[in-house]
Amino acid sequence: MELVLATGNRDKQREMKAFLQDLRVTIRTLDEFPAAPVVVEDGETCWSNAGKKAREIARFTGLLTLADDTGLEVDALGGRPGVYAARYAGAHASYEDNCRKLLDELTGVPADQRGARFLTVVAISDSSSSVEFVEGVLQGRIADRCSGMHGFGYDPVFIIPELGKTLAELTLDQKNQISHRGQALAKAKDVLKRILGRNIGA
């Protein structure tokens, strides 16, 4: 059985492959489908964006497809950047650009008011456009500077209070055990196992 990861983000692909590697599926990426449509993420929620990506790529490839969307909600910013996290500093912003903008906006905000949470929604769709959703949430706070060499996105500024470290200071295995995406992928794996079992049984 084949599973398409509906993301062109190599960092996300790496995390997803590491998490799903023990499944009895052949994991394929969008790199293998150069004619695939570029899905415009114009939804107001992570659910709508993830669902749209999963449906469109599943229809195009004819294969089971997994897509995700992640938002970052910062208390002191009224929930921003939210669903616009990946393009917070502009349409073509780098990870560094987004982190810099976030830290600049939180200048002077004390540590006890820098609470934040990551939300990841994973959507799994087949070519009939049937979709199942799962989610993962990670609570933390925003640091006052970047720290750590691992991860991507906002990982260098997102502190896990229980560990006293940012996500970027954790190894990939450590991050996958606790992260928002790791939680969502763990639930997604259960959905995929059920689908696999159904297909094998057929």
Q: How far apart are CA 37 and CA 60, in angstroms?
A: 8
**CB neighbour list of residue 98: distance below 8 Å, 6 or more residues apart:** 81, 85, 86, 87, 88, 89, 153, 154
Q: Can you say whether the dihedral through the CA atoms of 135, 140, 145, 148 is positive or negative?
A: negative
Structure-block tokens of residue 40? 């415009």
**Contacts for 17 with CB less than 8 Å, ≥ 6 apart:** 5, 27
Q: Select which of 69, 75, 155, 190 is catalytic.
A: 69
Phi, psi of 149 (to 5 degrees): -115, -5
Question: Using an 8 Å Cβ cutoff, are 43 and 52 in contact?
Answer: yes
Contacts of 58 (CB under 8 A, 6+ apart): 4, 6, 64, 65, 125, 126, 127, 129
Question: Is position 97 annotated as part of the catalytic site?
Answer: no
Say whether 63 sits in a helix, a strand or coil: coil
Please give the Cα distance from 150 to 122 (Å, whole number): 23
- Residues known to be catalytic: 69
